[in-house]
Amino acid sequence: MSGQSCLIDGCQARVYAPAGTRSICKDHFLGFLTWRRRRGPQMFRKYAGMTMEERDVITGEWLETLGTKDLPHPIPSR
């Protein structure tokens, strides 16, 4: 995943986990997990059995639910 950027436009945080065929940062990944959890336990079982291309559809659904207040997350200063 090195050299990739977060799927969310404008997010400069380091990539953390895959989201379909793309990758997202840790903050957005946690939001993605929360969204999937709210859709019910069957979503986790269904998602686990999907191909990466099939997961892109689910990721796309999640992206549509994001409000502008959620975009983008600034890089935390250290």
**Which distant-in-sequence residues (6+ apart) come within 8 Å of 50 by Cβ?**
58
Higher pLDDT, residue 63 or 4: 63
Check residue 76 and give its pLDDT.
57
Q: What is the pLDDT of residues 10-38, one digit of tens each?
A: 888 999 998 888 999 999 999 999 999 89
Higher pLDDT, residue 77 or 48: 48
Check residue 54 and give its pLDDT.
93
Instruction: Name the pairing type of β-strands 15-19 and 22-25.
Output: antiparallel
- Quote the mean pLDDT of the chain: 83
Mean pLDDT of the region 46-68: 88
